[in-house]
Amino acid sequence: MKFEKTIMFSLLLNFTNCMPGSQRDACRYNLQELKNRCELVSLFIASGPSEESMNRSVESDFLLFTQDCVKYYNRLEDCKKEENRYIPSIYG
């Protein structure tokens, strides 16, 4: 009976693309989209935009991405809380 439950649970995780882990892992996994946007901002800054490309829409997009980057780092700090290490979670 116990073996069957273990097999069913592992099949469920495989077919639903879920991964067991800690709350910290789940929190970081959920921040992937913000992390990608933040990396775009760093690439934009590193490439040094030309004057022609710095119109109003680009400036507003840049500010929006910068705000996302700040949100990402604030939420990442929340993920690093010690109690999140010991809370089990399923994510994916």
Q: Where are the domains of the chain?
A: 23-87
Question: 15-24, 42-51, 79-88: lowest mean pLDDT where?
Answer: 42-51
Alpha helices in the chain (DSSP H): 2-15, 23-30, 32-47, 56-79
Q: Could you tell me which residues are beta bridge partners of residue 3?
A: none
**Quick check: pTM over 0.85?**
no
Burial class (CB in 10 A: 0-12, 13-18, 19+), 75: middle
- Cβ(89)–Cβ(22) below 8 Å: yes
According to the model, what pLDDT value does residue 4 have?
82
Confidence of residue 65 (pLDDT cuts 50, 70, 90): confident
Q: Tell me how far the alpha carbon of residue 65 is from its chain's centroid.
A: 14
